[in-house]
Amino acid sequence: MNADIRYAIIIGTVYGLAALVLQSVLVPFIEISVARPDLILVIVLLLGRRFGSNTGSTAGFFLGVLQDAITSLPLGISALPKALAGYAAGKTTVFKLEGPIAYLWFIFFIFFHEFIYYWLMHYKMEVDFSFLLYTRVFPNTIYTSAMLWVVNIFTARSLARES
């Protein structure tokens, strides 16, 4: 097994499990009204940026399934948006997006994730989607984007891209 693949598995497992634990234990205490950050999505985005789109989408899928299993959501409802976001984050390396431009794209990926997630959650329900957009998608996007910045500070050394 390649050393980079082994490193990706170890880092993905450690950070992924830590994010799962923090998501279920810490996040309920730091939510603001109904806005809660998605730490698992943050880790998926950072793993995708560091290791590429295959690792990002794989980590997103498995962490999404684990999140669904822990939170008793329908199995797979978090896996699809997280896998797509991880894949998209991995593609930022192909297009050589660096610095603030990459983070603007990450904010778009977070918005895209939240949009798909809430669309799947409320599919075939009598809910005004503009209400969900303004009360769930936008606040969660802002909060998760802020947490992306914070988590990136703490994981910068282990998830820094290779030159």
Domains and CATH numbers, the chain: 3-155 (1.10.1760.20)
Contacts of 107 (CB under 8 A, 6+ apart): 141, 145, 148
Q: What is the pLDDT of residues 124-146, one digit of tens each?
A: 788 888 889 999 999 999 999 99
> Distances from the Cα of 29 to the Cαs of 22, 105, 120, 137, in angstroms?
10, 28, 26, 19
* Residue 31 CB-density burial (10 A; 0-12 exposed, 13-18 middle, 19+ buried): middle
Give yes or no for a contact between 67 and 21, defined as CB atoms under 8 angstroms apart.
Answer: no
Please identify which residue in the block is written with the tokens 């806005």. Answer: 35
pTM for this model (two decimals): 0.93
What pLDDT does residue 162 have?
64
Q: What is the pLDDT of residues 23-36, one digit of tens each?
A: 999 999 999 988 99
